[in-house]
C-alpha cells in the first residue's frame, strides 16, 4: 500500500511539473533574446546595434508579458492592446533608426513575414523543390475553400 501511495504521489508531482512547464509564460529576457538572435543572424548586426536593439526589444517584451498576465487575470482590454500596438510601431521605428539602409530593407521583410505569420525556418516546398507562394491579405482569405485550414 505504501508503494502504491508513493508511486501515486510521485506521478502526481511529475504531472504537475509537466503541466506547469507546458503553460510557462516566457520571460521578457527570453523573448528579447530570441528576437535579437534572429535579427542578428539575418541582419548581421554589429555588437553596438545588437545591444541597442536588445534594449528596445526587452522594453517591448516586458510590456507584452505584462499585458498577457493582465489579460489572463482580468480579460481582454482594447485600450491595452492599442497601447501595445503603438509601442510595437515605435519600437520598430527605433530599431530601423539603428540599422544601415540595406539592413532596414531586410528588417522590413522580417516584419512583413512576422505579420503574415511566415516562419522562415519552416518554409514549405512544393514537389519541384520551389518555394510555395504565400498569398496574404484578403486574397489569401478568398482563396481558402470553406472547411480548409
Is it the case that residue 36 has pLDDT exceeding 60?
A: yes
The answer to which of 53-57, 76-80, 90-94, 143-147 has the lowest mean pLDDT is: 143-147
pLDDT at 148 over 90: no
CB neighbours of residue 34 within 10 Å: 13
Q: What's the whole-number average pLDDT of the chain? A: 77
90 has pLDDT over 80: yes
Enumerate the H helices of 1-149 as residue ranges: 2-22, 28-43, 47-74, 78-98, 101-116, 137-143
Higher pLDDT, 38 or 117: 38
Average the pLDDT over 81-89 and give the result. 88
Q: Please state the rounded mean pLDDT for residues 120-128.
A: 55
41 contacts 120 by C-beta, under 8 angstroms: no
Residue 33: C-alpha distances to residues 60, 65, 74 (Å): 12, 14, 28
User: Which of 19-28, 44-53, 106-115, 137-146 bottoms out in mean pLDDT, i.e. has the lowest?
Assistant: 137-146
| pTM (two decimals) | 0.64
What phi and psi, each to the nearest 5 degrees, are found at residue 77?
Answer: -135, 115
Amino acid at each position: 500500500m505504501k508503494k502504491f501511495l508513493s508511486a501515486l504521489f510521485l506521478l502526481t508531482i511529475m504531472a504537475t511539473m509537466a503541466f506547469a512547464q507546458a503553460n510557462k509564460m516566457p520571460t521578457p529576457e527570453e523573448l528579447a533574446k530570441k528576437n535579437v538572435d534572429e535579427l542578428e543572424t539575418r541582419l548581421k548586426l554589429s555588437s553596438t546595434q545588437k545591444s541597442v536593439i536588445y534594449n528596445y526589444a526587452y522594453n517591448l517584451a516586458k510590456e507584452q508579458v505584462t499585458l498577457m498576465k493582465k489579460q489572463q487575470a482580468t480579460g481582454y482590454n482594447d485600450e491595452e492592446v492599442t497601447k501595445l500596438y503603438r509601442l510595437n510601431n515605435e519600437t520598430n521605428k527605433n530599431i530601423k533608426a539603428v540599422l544601415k539602409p540595406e539592413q532596414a530593407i531586410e528588417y522590413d521583410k522580417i516584419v512583413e513575414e512576422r505579420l503574415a505569420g511566415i516562419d522562415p525556418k519552416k518554409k514549405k516546398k512544393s514537389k519541384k523543390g520551389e518555394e510555395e507562394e504565400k498569398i496574404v491579405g484578403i486574397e489569401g482569405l478568398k482563396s481558402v475553400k470553406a472547411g480548409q485550414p
